Each structure stands twice: as structure tokens, then as C-alpha cells.
Structure 1
């Protein structure tokens, strides 16, 4: 069992706050908009463990995931520093963190709401795997971390986007670096609502309060049913996808 006090100040890139059973999980980098990295102090390193921690807290009835400022997760951290002895050793860590990142996200036992407060260009799957996805009207969705950068899209995006968009559009999205705006994402069924930025979080909290008023067993069993197929597919395909991504990186050096 965990309590909020056990993990509220544990992470350098994640803020937590809770009211009436609704846990808000806000991504950030040094207090500003979240930037992606893969060092030992990055979101990549912290998120899997954070999802595991909040999952063990019985006081959480609903989780809201959002970003800071006017972007959800738009780019890489230019200040990131690495202290890995070699690429093979680094990739072994990345592989384990990559497994934990999505397996633990999908193992969160309560409903999740994503309030996508702006562009989600890096690991947008973190948002679109939520049960309710709300987007600010200036949000965009893309996968700019893989094929556009010469990397294999094997860390779960190869499962998520063909599932959401269909096999052909999903492959097109991954191979071209396509950017999908908020209103097009609504039309395609990627998000449930598009809102003005100043009301986005209020709307997420409205949904969360409505759900949190229901019984905890009902919420937990509903979440289990809704993510069952995604968890099965991720179990089958995430490990091999990460292995392909890592092998291509090592062979390309």
C-alpha cells in the first residue's frame, strides 16, 4: 500500500495533487512545459515507477494526466546529460523503462483522464491511452521521436496508433511524422472533446468528480474491462518492439 505522502515529492518531473479521490498528475521540466528525455532523471525514467506508485494508493479513484503551460509534451530536453558507460548498457535500461512505462500506465486500476493542454509530439500515446481524452483547441498529435529521427517506432506506438487510426492510416502516421490537429483528432475519434485552453482542466475535473462519486469497486472493474485488450496487445508486442528499436540503434552505430 502507498499513501500520497510516499510519492508526492518523489519525482523531479511530475507533480501530484489530490482532492476528493481525484489525483492530478502534472508533467513538467524544471517547473516549465514538459520536455522528453531518456536520462536517469528524465520523464522516461520516472513515469513507469510513478504509475506503479499511484496504482498502490487505494485513495485514488480517478487520475487526471496533464502537462504544464501551453504544451503537453512537445520536444526533447536540450539540457539533458548522460552518464552511461556505453550504448548497450544504456539501451538495457531504456528497454526496462519502456516496458514499465506502458505496462504500468495500463495497469493503473482506476479511470484515467488526459487533459492535453497543447502539442503532444513526443510520446503522445501517454495521453491517448487514457479512458477520456480531452484536448485544448491548439493541441496537435504526432510521433516525432521515431521515424523522423531515424528510430524504429517500437516502444508501443506501433501498437497504439494503428489501433486508434486503423492499420493503413496508423502506419502512414508513424512513417510520415504527420501532425493531427485537435479538431481532426476529434473527427478521427482520438479525443472525446476539444475545448478552449482556459476551460480544459475544469472540464477534466468535472468528468473526474462525476466518476469519483461512484463506488470504487465499480470504477476499478470498469477500468479493468476497458483496458483489457490494450493490455493484452501490449503484453504481446511491446517487448519485441523495444528489442527491434534497440537492435536498429546498435546496428546503425
Structure 2
């Protein structure tokens, strides 16, 4: 099995694949824990498209680097998001990421290897979700910046955890630990920290061994409602998020 060129194309995404077709995509910054940037935002939908088109991929493990899934963001790197043309680019990319993650023709195992307080919705959209005992979940950027959480968090957390819990998490900016996330039905398993990735890989290998058509069609069957909610809720939510970003710029 040859290594595709997309394995080395993206600045903040690292790839590795087992001989039996389990691809790992790991968020990182310079080989360490990831800081989410505008470049990550632009590259992620492209990477997911490459993954979908690569017939050698039989399952995907989505995780972070070191002891962090993702807990920091470089807001300035997103550009002048108060400008309509810039925000429309962000809005298009944001919707594409969520749609493509849900529509991958292979099962996805999410591994929260530590704090997931930036784009935790990526983990919630996976087909099986494993958490390290050190994982935490929440929404750091939107409450901190004073920008509406309209880029998918509001839809995914409500769908997975329920309306009251989603409202509490997104209003307060507080976090929950892995045990609470499991109790809320957000996480399938909580494991010892140093076993999280190994457990995710084990599950992904089990799924990868199933027939190709089964893997693809099961993915569609189980994600139909979530995909519909994403398509309905994210374009509107991101339009409102853009308005709050513009309002902040106007006040400065």
C-alpha cells in the first residue's frame, strides 16, 4: 500500500495508516498539541475529501497530539471575519467539514486524548467515541470572544446531549469531564489515559474488517438525522455568528 501525497500536504494534520487500512488523522501544531488556525479550517474539508476518495482507507481514527485533542485557537489567523466575503469563506468551509465528516464512506472512531474545548463537535460526529480519563469537553472560544456558537456546536451538542445540557454548556463556557460526558451519552467508553488511542485503533480495526458496502451504507443509515440537522442548522447559525463578529469589530 503506497503512501498518498495528501499524507504530507496539510500543515496541521498528520496521517498514518496500518496495513489493514485504518487511517489515523491527528491534529497537531509543529508536531505538538494543536492550535486551531485559519489554515486548519481551510485544510480540513480538503483533507476529508481526499480521505473519502482513497479506496485504501477502510476506517478512520480521529484524534489529537500528545495529551490534548484541541484546546486553543489563533483567532487572528482566521482573518477579518467581520467582512462578509471572508466570513462566507469560513461559513462554507465550516459546513463542508461537518458534512464531509458525517458522509465519509468509512466508519470513524474519535479518540479524545485530552481536553477538547475547541471544536469538540468533531468528536461528537464520529461513529464511536472513546475518551481518555483526562479528557474534558466544552466550548472555550465562543464565550471567551463573545461570538455566537453557530458553527455546528449548537446543533451537535443538542442532538447528542439534549437541549438543556447544550444550552448550559454553550452559555456558561464551562467544561465537563470524561465521566460526565459518558453519563450524558456523549462518549461511548472512558479508558485509562495511556490506553485511549490503542482502544480507538482496536475498534477501528474491527470495523475496517467488515465488508466495504456494509461499512459505507451503515454510515449513511446511522447518520441520516445528524446530517439533516447539520444542513438545516449550521448555515443559519454561522450567519448569526458572523453578525456577532461584525458587531465586535464595530464596537472597537
Q: TM-score by structure 2 length? A: 0.92
Q: Give 1:230 shift.
A: 0.5
Q: Give the equivalent residue in structure 1 for 2:50.
A: 53
Q: Gapped runs of 5+ residues in structure 2?
A: none
Question: CA offsets per residue over residues 5-37 of structure 1, 9 Å max, x none?
Answer: 131111010011111111110110111101112
Q: In proportion to residue count, which structure has more helix?
A: 2
Task: Supply the distance in 2 between the matched residues of 1:82 and 1:233 (Cα, whole angstroms).
Answer: 25
> Do 2:12 and 2:28's aligned partners in 1 also have CA atoms closer than 8 Å?
yes
Task: Supply the distance in 1 between the matched residues of 2:228 and 2:5 (Cα, whole angstroms).
Answer: 30
Q: Gapped runs of 5+ residues in structure 1?
A: none
Q: Give the equivalent residue in structure 1 for 2:12.
A: 13
Partner SS, residue 42 of structure 2: helix
Map 1:143-162; keep pairs closer than 5 Å. 143-162=139-158
Task: Supply the distance in 2 between the matched residues of 1:88 and 1:29 (Cα, whole angstroms).
Answer: 28
Q: Give 1:61 shift.
A: 1.1
Task: Supply the distance in 2 between the matched residues of 1:230 and 1:4 (Cα, whole angstroms).
Answer: 32
Matched, 1:126 2:122: yes
Provide the aligned length of Structure 1 versus Structure 2: 247
Task: Supply the distance in 1 between the matched residues of 2:3 and 2:150 (Cα, whole angstroms).
Answer: 33
Matched, 1:32 2:16: no
Task: Supply the distance in 2 between the matched residues of 1:86 and 1:236 (Cα, whole angstroms).
Answer: 23
Matched, 1:115 2:95: no
Question: CA offsets per residue over residues 215-237 of structure 1, 9 Å max, x none?
Answer: 11111111111111100111111
Matched, 1:217 2:213: yes
Task: Supply the distance in 2 between the matched residues of 1:116 and 1:183 (Cα, whole angstroms).
Answer: 12
Question: CA offsets per residue over residues 177-209 of structure 1, 9 Å max, x none?
Answer: 120101111111110111112111111111111
What is the alpha-carbon root mean square deviation over aligned residues? Answer: 1.8
Task: Supply the distance in 2 between the matched residues of 1:167 and 1:133 (Cα, whole angstroms).
Answer: 20
Q: Give 1:248 shift.
A: 2.1
Structure 1 residues 234 and 85: CA distance shift in structure 2, 3 A? closer
Task: Supply the distance in 1 between the matched residues of 2:81 and 2:145 (Cα, whole angstroms).
Answer: 23
Q: TM-score by structure 1 length? A: 0.92
Q: In the alignment, which of 94, 108, 111 is matched to residue 98 of structure 1?
A: 94
Structure 1 residues 17 and 248: CA distance shift in structure 2, 3 A? same
Question: CA offsets per residue over residues 106-137 of structure 1, 9 Å max, x none?
Answer: 11111100111000001100111111100111
Greater alpha carbon shift after TM alignment, 114-123 vs 100-109:
100-109
